[in-house]
Amino acid sequence: MDFISKLEKEIEELRQNLASKEQELLSIKHKMGTAEIHMDNQNGSSLEQTKALKVQFGETLPKWAIERYSRQILLPEIGVCGQEKLMQGRVLIVGAGGLGCPAAVYLAGAGVGEIGIIDYDTVDLTNIHRQFLHTEGDQNISKAESAANSLRSINSRIKVTPYNVQLDSKNALDIASKYDIILDCSDNVPTRYLLSDVSVLTKIPLISGSALKMEGQLTVYGYRADKNPSEKDTTYRGPCYRCVFPSPPPAESVGSCSANGVAGSVPGAIGALQSLEAIKYLVGQTKETLLVERLLLFDGEDMTFRTVKLRGRNLKCPICSDTPTITRLVDYEMFCNSSAQEKDLDLKILGPENRISATELADKLSEIDLEQRHLLVDVRSEPEFKMCSIDGAVNYPLDQMYRNFDDLLGEIRRCTSHVTFICRRGNDSQIAAKRVLEEIEENHRSKIKDLFGGLHAWSKNVDCNFPIY
Amino acid sequence: MTTLKIQLQFGGGAELLFDKIKKREVELPSLKKYFPESQKEKWTIKELLVWMKDNLLMERPELFVQGDSVRPGILVLINDADWELYGELSYEVQENDVIMFISTLHGG
């Protein structure tokens, strides 16, 4: 073990050394970069004088940029003019997660002049399966910083600004006003409404992506034709998020990647497409070719992409109409009745008489008595149950509980010992136990318990080999 | 009176309320037969939602309907277009219509 910790320490030191060397190289390259551009110009003029030959680099593109970005400059949709616009473009990415990472990579690769990336969170091991700007060595550091470091190593010619903050009504307008377009790569409802309102108030369009499980969605909100000289009707404005979704969904209907799961490639695909919409917007494409008033639906399960027609701007929208009732940012967590940060719920549904701690449960289980078999009812989903479970537990997933509710009640009635409900964190198990307590005869109620703190507590206090996920 | 064949589709998690089936062909009885009291001749989305709640919805109806409409966060699409463009609840359902219920995603 000593050898392992010694090696880990050495690796950590090498990493720090590497990071400082990379930083040094970056700053030298930055200085060289400006020098190189000067030399290009000088060479051009001296050639012109001596041989009457002039090398054309477009309007302003230096040699390095033509070489570096040639593969996209070749596209008529981008070209020299588009590349210049990209290099002057400023994109704000909100969320350095499953959507933000792929979006940021392609924008950095394309040479977008300035990328701001916001995330309040730190890198967790469970992020890395899809959030590929973060590596194993980045665990517990700021996701914004980690993403910015990776982006700088991809393209040292661009400016990358990490914002290690929770975006909220106080700081959002200040940050957003420094950018030309915003990418919503967030993971919660309050931030989505916040960003839409920011987009309307600052007149900066919003490219909104989302993903969960095997599905993704993408559209552009808050588009304004008056910012694009190529638009025929410069008065046109696209819908905002509130036009399409005036009221937030009930909090219990909203899924999350940590609770419901996500296939990494799904946000990968949607994030990549968000970057493409940003690039198209920056080079000046019009509403006909952008996802304005259209919603892209991606289903990875049967590999279908479909684009559906959305409603236009609501002329009575509370924020983006000509007579708005909302004129400044509000409290979005209150509006949505949910948190913008992933917090573990700590429900208290059952009284102490129906709860059992992990260590008490372990003691009870160790009293081996086959006649007095302890019934463990695990209410997590089937994939979770198959991933890891306590030996001997039976699986009755909460979301289908009523389908075989009678079987469960029968099993509980037959049990002469204790019945313990189990889930990941000890919330769903209380809901399940309560349903049973409401249904079952009084003489069975006292044997029904709920594992306090769920399997996380089990892992922490009883069996450290049980995975925390 | 004849029946009305349509396709219902679900996505973004809305299928979880409907036995996890994303696509299904359904045949609606004549409106008069299902709602003898109704003054209407033809099915609109409003009656369709009631029929779905009665016949297809497996659990937690409050996560699908709220009042006589769908709950906030579910987008209804009629033949790949936002139902708002067709009068929402008052749209008269046509033979072979594809009506889709998409729950909006928020993960990232």
The Cα A426–Cα A450 span in angstroms is 7
pLDDT interval class at A348 (50, 70, 90): confident
pLDDT interval class at A59 (50, 70, 90): low
pLDDT interval class at A53 (50, 70, 90): low
Are the Cβ atoms of B108 and A97 closer than 8 angstroms?
Answer: yes
Q: Is the dihedral of CA A195, A200, A204, A210 positive or negative?
A: positive
Q: Does A306 touch chain B (CB under 8 A)?
A: yes
pTM for this entry? 0.85
What is the average per-residue pLDDT within A95-121? 98
A304, A336, A368: which is the final residue of a domain? A336
Residue A140: inside a domain? yes
Query: Which residue, chain included where needed, has tokens 């779905």?
Result: B52
| Nearest Cα to Cα of residue A177 among A290, A90, A275 | A90
Same domain, A147 and A239: yes
Give bridge partners of residue B24 from the DSSP assignment. Answer: B8
Residue A49: inside a domain? no
CB A251 within 8 A of CB A81: no
Based on the residue annotation, tell me whether A423 is a catalytic residue of this protein. yes
What is the average per-residue pLDDT within B15-33? 94
A306, A336, A366: which is the final residue of a domain? A336
**Nearest chain B residue to A259, by CA:** B107
The Cα A155–Cα A26 span in angstroms is 10
Set of chain B residues whose Cβ sits within 8 Å of the Cβ of A213: 13
- Provide, rounded to the nearest whole percent, the portion of chain A with pLDDT above 70: 92
Which residues 175-194 of chain A have a CB within 8 Å of chain B? Answer: 184-189, 192
| CB pairs < 8 Å spanning A and B | 108
| Joined tokens for residue A353 | 């008489």
On the question of pLDDT at A468 being above 80, the answer is yes
Give bridge partners of residue B65 from the DSSP assignment. Answer: B70
What is the average per-residue pLDDT within B77-106? 97
Residue A160: inside a domain? yes
Same domain, A197 and A307: yes
Query: Which residue, chain included where needed, has tokens 């004549």?
Result: B30
Query: Which residue, chain included where needed, has tokens 């929208």?
Result: A317
User: Residues 6 or more apart from A274 whose CB is under 8 A from it?
Assistant: A99, A103, A183, A185, A207, A209, A218
User: Residues for chain B: how many in total?
Assistant: 108
For residue A253, the model assigns a pLDDT of: 84
Query: Which residue, chain included where needed, has tokens 């981008």?
Result: A78
Torsion of CA A295, A299, A304, A306, to 10 degrees: -10
Which of B74, B80, B108 lies closest to A267 in CB terms? B108
Are the Cβ atoms of A255 and B106 closer than 8 angstroms?
Answer: yes
What is the average per-residue pLDDT within A403-412? 92
Q: Does A97 touch chain B (CB under 8 A)?
A: yes
Q: Strand B98-103 and strand B74-78: pairing?
A: antiparallel
Q: Is the dihedral of CA A35, A40, A41, A45 positive or negative?
A: positive
Angle between helix axes A79-88 and A265-282 (nearest 10 degrees) is 110
CB A209 within 8 A of CB A184: yes
Which of B59, B72, B82 lies closest to A310 in CB terms? B82
Query: Which residue, chain included where needed, has tokens 């769920």?
Result: A454
CB A328 within 8 A of CB A201: yes
Homologous superfamily of the B4-103 domain (CATH): Beta-grasp domain (3.10.20.30)
Average pLDDT, chain A: 91
Same domain, A274 and A242: yes
Q: What is the pLDDT of residues A252-306, one digit of tens each?
A: 888 888 888 999 999 999 999 999 999 999 999 999 999 999 999 999 999 999 9
Same domain, A312 and A388: no
Set of chain B residues whose Cβ sits within 8 Å of the Cβ of A315: none
For residue A237, the model assigns a pLDDT of: 97
Are the Cβ atoms of B73 and A299 closer than 8 angstroms?
Answer: no
Which CATH number goes with the domain that contains A426? 3.40.250.10
Residue A148: inside a domain? yes
For residue A33, the model assigns a pLDDT of: 59
Chain B residues near any Cβ of chain A (below 8 Å) = 11-13, 16, 22, 59, 62-63, 71-75, 77, 80-82, 84-85, 100, 102-108
| Joined tokens for residue A253 | 């209907």
On the question of pLDDT at A43 being above 50, the answer is no
Residue A223: inside a domain? yes
| Joined tokens for residue A419 | 């019945």
A379: helix, strand or coil? coil
Same domain, A422 and A307: no
Same domain, A302 and A433: no
Q: Is A185 annotated as a binding residue?
A: no
Set of chain B residues whose Cβ sits within 8 Å of the Cβ of A216: 105
CB B82 within 8 A of CB A310: yes
| Joined tokens for residue A42 | 């000088």
Instruction: Tell me the range of A3-12, A253-262, A270-279, A443-452 where mean pLDDT is highest.
Output: A270-279
What is the average per-residue pLDDT within A449-463? 94
Are the Cβ atoms of B81 and A254 closer than 8 angstroms?
Answer: no
Which CATH number goes with the domain that contains A290? 3.40.50.720
Alpha-carbon distance values, A117 to A123, A263, A452 (Å): 14, 23, 38
Per annotation, catalytic residue among A101, A185, A257, A336: A257
CB A94 within 8 A of CB A120: no
Residue A106: inside a domain? yes
Same domain, A251 and A390: no
For residue A39, the model assigns a pLDDT of: 46
Tell me how many helices (H) and strands (E) chain B has: 2, 7
* Domain region containing A256: 89-336
Residue A27: inside a domain? no
Q: What is the CA radius of gyration of chain B?
A: 13
Q: What is the pLDDT of residues A131-162, one digit of tens each?
A: 999 999 999 999 999 999 999 999 999 999 99
pLDDT interval class at A29 (50, 70, 90): confident
Based on the residue annotation, tell me whether A388 is a catalytic residue of this protein. no
Are the Cβ atoms of A216 and B13 closer than 8 angstroms?
Answer: no
Q: Domain count for chain A, please give it.
A: 2
For residue A41, the model assigns a pLDDT of: 46
A421: helix, strand or coil? strand
For residue B1, the model assigns a pLDDT of: 61
Are the Cβ atoms of B105 and A211 closer than 8 angstroms?
Answer: yes
Residue A96: inside a domain? yes
Which of B75, B102, B108 lies closest to A211 in CB terms? B108
User: Residues 6 or more apart from A373 whose CB is under 8 A from it?
Assistant: A415, A417
Same domain, A405 and A316: no
